Amino acid sequence: MGFIKSNWISLLAILISISTFFTFFIRIEPFTITNGAMIGVVIGLMGVCATIMVATQVFHLRFTEERFKAIAKKETNILKYHSDTNIIKTLYRVETLSMLDLANKKMWHEFVKTTTILIGYLEDLKDNVRASQLNQSLTDIDNECAFYDILDDKDRTEFRQNIIKLSRLLNDPSDLLTRFSRQIHPSIYDQNKDYERNSHQNAKSL
């Protein structure tokens, strides 16, 4: 239906030409085929052929235009995707430097907020290589500063949600989930074990 509405003029021209050709044979009285009649038939056929050729060209141009529009739209979307991806990668690098700086300054609330931004970028990029690098950075920072144990409840909840999102981008998130699902930093566990061992030894010596 949409095709007919868009090309009704060409279709009408074809219909008129064909109708004109066939009405040539409709006569009230008998007729004989003469040279003039043959010329009329030939001219009628030429008119029909010309109309069909013009209509074909119009249809072809229309289909070609639609195809070019589809190709142009596809290429535009590809360019837009690459442009957006490059922008996100640049922002990710900037926020990574910011995260490391905040860790050095031990500004853990801002550190968690920056981590949220970074993981949001990773979800857009779906980049497991950068996700692995971020995983290693968080592990190194936690080993050095044990920041997870000193986060307040709100920041810790937000950070845990970030860890769950990050784990979905990793091939093997088991170490990450194990580390940040704990309540006490491993170094504190070791200190407690040493304290208990020394206490038992002192008790035995007494």
- Please indicate, yes or no, if residue 42 is contained in any of the structural domains: yes
82 is a domain residue: yes
For residue 107, pLDDT beyond 90 = yes
String of b and e for 16-27 (b: at least 16 CB within 10 Å)?
A: ebeeebeeeeee
Enter the pTM of the model. Answer: 0.54
User: Domain count of the chain?
Assistant: 2
Side chain identity at residue 61, one-letter code: L
**CA nearest to 107, candidates 163, 139, 115, 161:** 115
Per the prediction, the chain carries an average pLDDT of: 75
Query: Please, is 99 exposed, middle or buried when counting C-beta atoms within 10 Å of its C-beta (0-12, 13-18, 19+)?
Result: buried
pLDDT(129) > 70: yes
Q: What is the DSSP letter of 169?
A: T
Domain that holds residue 114: 78-184
Q: What is the pLDDT of residue 191?
A: 44
Task: Compute the average pLDDT of residues 154-160.
Answer: 91
Instruction: Give the model's confidence band at 13: pLDDT under 50 very low, under 70 low, under 90 confident, else very high.
Output: low
Does 94 share its domain with 36?
no
